[in-house]
Amino acid sequence: MIEKVDVLIIGASAAGFTAALTARKYNKNASIMVLRKEEATPVPCGIPYIFGTLFDVKKNCMPDGVLIKNNVKILTKEAKAINRDKKTVTLADNTEIGYEKLILCTGSTPVKPPIPGIDLKNVFFAQKDTDYLNDVLTRLGKVKDVVIIGGGFIGVEFADEFRKRGLNVTIVELLPRCLQLVFDEEYCIMAEEKLRERGVHVITKTRAEEIVGKEEVEKVRLSSGEEIKADIVLIGIGVRANTILAQDAGLKIGEQRGIWVNEYMQTTDENIFAAGDCAEKFSFFTGKPTGLKLASIACREARIAGVNIFGLKRKNPGVIGSFSTIIGDLGLGAAGLVEKAAKENGFDVITGQAVGMDKHPSAMPECRELKIKLIFDRKSGVVLGGEIAGGTTTAELTNIVSLMIERKMTMDEIATFQYGTHPAFTCSPVGYPIANAAEDAIVKM
């Protein structure tokens, strides 16, 4: 055995990093170790921006110095097995580490669809691996035509970054709209219009049937019969929980194939917790399992697990889902249940909408239009979700809406909530869109 630690965390991405720092804040004396198989860990949300903004994988890595400064040991070895009876983790070199409490933050892996030709050279995924991403970055310097399979957040963000490099980019999406799993149609249309304005070719309601080539990618054949030239194919159709260690250790796996956890982020073993993409999620609205996987959710769960290993204190009420992205200068955000999703979950909804400027007066530099749509439960008046389109303030406004959802605020409370404004940073106090959207819903009632 190498050693025994009080807290062992497997995985050093968003969840593992946050769990370690949280555990340290609440226990200054515990021995804490992060176990990871990579020399460096990419920031998950920043991966697309390596290719059109940062141009350097090292600029998008988690800062090890923060862990070291907080007396968290980092061990770069791969975990192969968990022995729950002995409370040990076996490593790839057959040595063992003992633990008192274990937090699994093993993350997720990209979904690999059964498309013929997927194993050809120059077919890539959004892999959280620095060597892999460096390879993609190198190859991008020698290509011209890129096909992206999947029009969700991964695909859209990669498309925008690839266009910054001057590449010919095509998105192929099976659903009727890009970003359809997150936004209502009017917001999806805004996203697609901006993509096309940026020079991205968007094809929806179409399946990628085959990736064609001898050794390397040459083209992609679509269900419509069309063939698109491709030097590189990026596949971004989602991720699945990495639960191999947990399954082999006999821990319960949930309906969405994540590691089952209770409201304290505790697995079926009282000494093992799980957080992040590997952990099963439950909806804030219905209590049912959900497939949501976001770095923001991972960090929240890690803050719960990182405290609860020293005594069960924090509870997870379920995931709301707060998303944001930017295409060119168009920011898009969504929190909670959008109108379509709310109706699908059985809610009788009423919506409120407002349009304003994100600075005031409108003559302020870089001022742009901001649109917001709030979704309320008609019976209780409680907010269920919101969608925002605007500029760089969109993400933080989306976070405000997310907090309102979690606090179960009503349309009257939102219409009269207390906010601060400033000409350079915010909408006008007279026409503050979040309050105005709530007023719009009240009037409709």
**Strand pairing of 96-104 and 3-10?**
parallel
Range(s) of the chain covered by CATH 3.30.390.30: 322-444
Question: What is the predicted pLDDT for the residue at 47?
Answer: 94
Question: What is the predicted pLDDT for the residue at 420?
Answer: 94
Range(s) of the chain covered by CATH 3.50.50.60: 3-109+240-308, 112-237
Preceding amide of 113 cis, omega within 30: no
Low-confidence spans in the chain with pLDDT less than 50: none
Overall fold of domain 3-109+240-308: FAD/NAD(P)-binding domain (3.50.50)
Looking at domain 322-444, its CATH superfamily turns out to be FAD/NAD-linked reductase, C-terminal dimerisation domain (3.30.390.30)
Question: What is the predicted pLDDT for the residue at 445?
Answer: 85
CA-based diameter of the chain, in Å? 68
CA 28 to chain centre: 31
DSSP 216-277: B--EEEETTS-EEE-SEEEE-S-EEE--HHHHHTT--B-TTSSBP--TTSB-SSTTEEE-ST
CA distance 278 to 267: 12
CA gyration radius, the chain: 23
CA 441 to chain centre: 30
Question: What is the predicted pLDDT for the residue at 2?
Answer: 75
CATH 3.10.20.30 for the 112-237 domain, yes or no: no
Question: What is the predicted pLDDT for the residue at 443?
Answer: 95
CA distance 429 to 417: 12
Which active-site residues does the annotation give?
45
Describe the strand order of the beta sheet including 145-149 as a list of residue ranges.
Answer: 123-125, 232-235, 145-149, 168-172, 201-203
